[in-house]
Chain A
Amino acid sequence: MGNMIELRGVTKQYGDVTVVNGINLDVREGEFLTFLGPSGCGKTTTLRMIAGFEDVTAGTVVINGKECNNIPPNKRDVNTVFQNYALFPHLSIRDNIAFGLKIKKLPKKVINEKVDRMIKLIKLEEHMDKKPSQLSGGQKQRVAIARSLVNEPKVLLLDEPLGALDLKLRKEMQIELKHLQKELGITFIYVTHDQEEALTISDRIAIVNKGNIEQIGTAEEIYEYPCTKFAADFIGETNLLKCKMLDIVDKTSKVEWQGQVLEVYNNPRKYLAGYNVYLSIRPENVHFADCISDFNTEKYNAIEAIYDEEVYIGNISRHILHTSDGHQFKISRFTRKGEHFERGQKIKICWSKKRCVIVHDEGGGPTDEEA
């Protein structure tokens, strides 16, 4: 399958402010791709440039093999689902969904058939003559999606479409959207700042920060092998140790932290010696050295930390410690009966050399080559 969307050096500037900074991205046909990032990172602006609501300052937007920089939104093969639904308040649900087809002047019979099928798909048959103001948030959202999908676009762009819904409904809609997308085989580009949502629904995630794509990959790739400090921190929770790159021997990368050498086996990226890097270790991969029967420094990195407190959350306990350089260090593990630590107690903690990743800060560590 080919690329449905290609962004080449796409840049957006407002005056002196660069909102999107030369993004390169390929979105495959039939893919569910999510832009994930904090508010103001440029993810919505990028989406709006694909839709045609914003001009690109530089670079090209290619949709289905066609360069679209100068094509207005009404002539692009994409449809958008807006954050606040943007339904037409003066039209009934039925007429809202039929709007795009009527503009295209399709025969009445065809319009009716398509709209009927759509209304059935979103299960709003008994509401089709109501006005948008009479629907609940979840229903409005379904109408907004149906209004776009009925036009059978090549790509559906969704701008935080579930942001206004409550948590339970949002989770239901995430699953529904995912199913809908698989069923119809349409390319979805989805924007959200909710990492859990992104992990749930996406085929691939693009982590956006300060107008740049920091990393693109599957949820697992990004969670297990983040390549930047931001990506590591934004998806899930992590512990970051500020280190200096030493060297790479065979498949083992060595870094120096607080005068101590820590090792990483098979790091996906190779960094040049001397660069400032971070070591990212997920809280669930950290153990108390005393609790590990086969503990040895061959397999594990071990450091000393000072115990602060325990936060009990059911079957999982979170232990908060801090390292000698004063940074917080979190461990999460299954709650064990009778396990108790004193505040201020020095504890040896450890993690597998296969279960940590070297990442760089923005601009802080150019990668030598991709492994």
Chain B
Amino acid sequence: MKKVHYGSFLYAVFFLFLLYTPIVVMIAYSFNNSEIDVGWSGFTLKWYEELLASSDAGKAVINSLIVSSFSTVISVLLGAFAAIGFHELDFRGKAALDSFFYIPTIVPAMLLGVSLLMIFELLHIPLSKATIIISHVTFCAPVTFNTIRVALNGFDKSIEEAALDLGCTKFQTIFKVILPNIVPAMLSGGLLAFTFSLEDVLTTFFVAGPSDETLSMYIFGQMRTGMKPTLNALSTLWIAATVAIGVLMQMAQNKAAKNTAN
């Protein structure tokens, strides 16, 4: 094994320290008996109990799950068929359209929220979970589209030709050959979209109805009245869930890589 230089080891430690200290501190304090964030005063689970007893937090979690699930499913479907269309067809302005698909992901979330709110007002659409979902799809669909697009770019065109050759119509080729092969990309794109949707607070803030507080909005709201240990508990649970999603995503990608390495 190559010998690691002393300096680079220190650098790595420093880097990881910067990355993970806040998270580790937050997780530790979610089990801290003291209500004020000053020092360690013993282990407790009471903040978790308090959190679970709070109906507001529970409602926020449910709202978030509803919003994120719907926006993920819609984004994956939109993204998949858009990506397949892009893969199959050649048309004028394809390159220009392609770059248009990226723009919603780089527009600042706040501006997106303001502009969406304006549109909803103009069209007299009352703010609700539906408007949150529509808003989330605007920045999640490009994510799924691009993930699936990349997978399709690596997909050997002659496999589609083989399907045609063996008697498939164009339509059958899409459903019997292309779709099954982009399932892993749909999954990983979907999980990415799900996390994007779950953590969004800025856009959501503008387009949510009064009773549609999502989890990220709830946490944001709680912060205004000062840091509470229940928030640490909530954040810890959230991190656990996100890590689980991340692991799932990695597994999906590995599977995709294995399939295309044929």
A contact set with B: CB distance below 8 Å:
51-53, 72-74, 78-80, 82-84, 86-90, 99-100, 103-104, 131-133, 147-148, 151
Contacts and interface: CB of A to CB of B under 8 A. Distances in A.
Contact of B168 (A51, A74, A79, A80): A74
A147 B158 contact: no
Contacts, number: 71
Nearest to A99: B166
A156 B174 CA distance: 24
A82 B161 contact: yes
B262 A89 contact: yes
A84 B156 CA distance: 9
A145 to B, nearest CB: 12
Given A74-B169, A84-B156, A103-B172, A90 B164 contact: no
Given A103-B172, A133-B258, A86 B166 contact: no
B167 A133 contact: no
Contacts of B259: 89-90, 131, 133
Interface in B130-159: 156, 158-159
A88 B177 contact: yes
Contacts of B166: 74, 79, 99-100, 103, 147-148, 151
B158 A84 contact: yes
A133 B156 contact: no
Interface residues of B, number: 22
Contacts of B168: 74, 103
B180 interface: yes
Given A132-B262, A133-B259, A133-B261, A88 B162 contact: yes
Given A74-B169, A83-B158, 5 more contacts: A78-B165, A82-B161, A87-B159, A89-B259, A147-B166
Query: Chain B interface secondary structure, helix, strand, loop or mixed?
Result: helix
A82 B164 contact: no
B227 to A, nearest CB: 50
B63 interface: no
A147 B162 CA distance: 10
B162 A86 contact: yes
A14 B167 CA distance: 27
A99 B164 CA distance: 11
B69 interface: no
A110 B262 CA distance: 29
A28 B245 CA distance: 60
Contacts of B177: 88, 90
A190 to B, nearest CB: 16
B51 interface: no
A131 B255 CA distance: 13
A133 B158 contact: no
A292 to B, nearest CB: 55
A104 B167 CA distance: 7
Interface string B159-188: 101111111110010001100110000000
13 contacts: A51-B165, A53-B161, A72-B164, A73-B164, A74-B164, A80-B165, A82-B158, A82-B162, A86-B159, A86-B162, A87-B159, A87-B162, A88-B181
A83 B156 CA distance: 12
B260 interface: yes
A136 B167 CA distance: 26
Contacts of B262: 87, 89, 131-133
A153 to B, nearest CB: 9
Q: Which of B156, B158, B167, B258 has the most CB of A within 10 A?
A: B167
Contacts of A90: 177, 180-181, 259
A88 B172 CA distance: 14
Given A88-B177, A90-B259, A133-B262, A73 B158 contact: no
B87 to A, nearest CB: 16
B259 to A, nearest CB: 5
A103 B166 CA distance: 8
B243 to A, nearest CB: 29
